[in-house]
Amino acid sequence: MKVVLQNLTKKFPNRNKKGTDVIAVNDFSFEIPDGKLVGLLGPSGCGKSTTLFMICGLEEPTEGNIFFGEDNVTELPPEHRGVGVVFQNYALYPHLTVRQNIIFPLQNLKGADKLSKEEMNERVLEAAKLVQIEELMERKPSELSGGQQQRVAIARAMVKMPMVLLLDEPLSNLDARLRLQTREEIRRIQKETGITTIFVTHDQEEAMSISDVIVVMKSGELQQIGKPQDIYDDPVNLFVAKFLGTPPINIFQGKVKGGKLYLTENTAVLDVPNVADQDVTVGIRPEGFIPDEHGSLSCNLVRVEVMGRDISVVSTHPACENPNVRSIIDADIEIDPESTTVCFSLKPHKVLLFDKETGKRIYFT
């Protein structure tokens, strides 16, 4: 099921003295293709949950429309939208067993949707199999691990065979190892069922690893939408460039003069054809540095960290905003850890320029 958001805006009345509205979501328009997993990504308070609540019908938009396929569902109550929702805190009924928790939404179906006991049991078993918890059906939630509880919550959301699955920070309460395992599980379930899924997270690594498409938000505004790799390689502004990537992008203050990029007064580090002379903010991805004794970017070496396949060279540079310049290079390349300086040449496609005032990307060819 394709989901289309059209000029979606949500304002909340503010309780402060000035009385200006809080614009949680501002004029959002985008299309979520049928059968895809979309990651809604942004820092805390950027409007992710509000967007999700409007899609499932728990919040009413101030302006705009929501379409499921060709149907305008903006006015439709949540129970008639065909959505399954999983929240961060699982929200399982503590006094019910796993089986009773999963069957609960089916017992409330009315009229033509009503199912026989056999049909309900069949659906429950199917959902339990999907998330691999058939062995746990008679336990209470308190007798399950966090990961198992989250699986039950997913099974409960899936049992009504929703057209759209909405997941609001579903991994936040899990420890690091379980997060990894459960996110792979969510991806598997999504692929197996082909259900259009919207996944809210503030964790860029999580969003990058499982999403077909990422939607990056900031302060209620859509920043960029696209495939994870495309957004990483080609961010439209400084915010998006900084938000994606581990280790984060290295930010420098620089200057373009005569088609060349300078990070210090006299030494050009890269040709940047077709860019007018100006001060710029420069982002260099950690994998964009090539150790090169003749390289024009000279940094003060702090330490070399061995990571197995790669090594991380930690250095400093006077024009760098980050406390350290972090570069990731192949472990086959030898860096003398005793040296006080390390020189690099740069991979042009890993160097991104941004307008110093607006943060908008400046492209060079």
Interface with ligand ATP (CB under 6 A): 12, 22, 24, 42, 44-50, 202
Closer to ligand ATP by Cβ: residue 52 or 103: 52
Distance between CA atoms of 325 and 339, rounded to whole angstroms? 16
Residue 103 CB, shortest distance to ligand ATP, in Å, is 30
Do β-strands 37-41 and 213-218 pair in parallel, antiparallel, or remain unpaired? parallel
Closer to ligand ATP by Cβ: residue 37 or 200: 200
> Residue 43 — left, alpha, or beta (φ > 0 → left; ψ -120 to 50 → alpha)?
beta
The answer to whether 46 and 218 are in contact (CB under 8 A) is: yes
Buried b (16+ CB within 10 A) or exposed e, 51-74: bbbbbbbebebeebebbbeeeebe
Helix 176-193, helix 117-130: angle, nearest 10: 130
Residue 221 CB, shortest distance to ligand ATP, in Å, is 11
The string of DSSP letters for 163-185 reads SEEEEESTTTTS-HHHHHHHHHH
Closer to ligand ATP by Cβ: residue 6 or 219: 219
Residue 167 CB, shortest distance to ligand ATP, in Å, is 13
Closer to ligand ATP by Cβ: residue 168 or 250: 168
User: What is the torsion angle, in degrees rounded to the nearest 10, for the CA atoms of residue 44, residue 45, residue 51 and residue 56?
Assistant: 80
Place of tokens 């420890």: 175
Helix 146-158, helix 117-130: angle, nearest 10: 130
Residue 170 CB, shortest distance to ligand ATP, in Å, is 13
Task: Give the C-alpha distances (Å, rounded to integers) separating 20 from 14, 47, 63.
Answer: 6, 17, 17
Closer to ligand ATP by Cβ: residue 52 or 128: 52
**Smallest Cα–Cα separation from 248: which of 214, 210, 286?**
286
Residue 40 CB, shortest distance to ligand ATP, in Å, is 8
Distance between CA atoms of 288 and 285, rounded to whole angstroms? 5
Closer to ligand ATP by Cβ: residue 53 or 252: 53
Residue 116 CB, shortest distance to ligand ATP, in Å, is 40
Closer to ligand ATP by Cβ: residue 43 or 318: 43
Residue 57 CB, shortest distance to ligand ATP, in Å, is 15
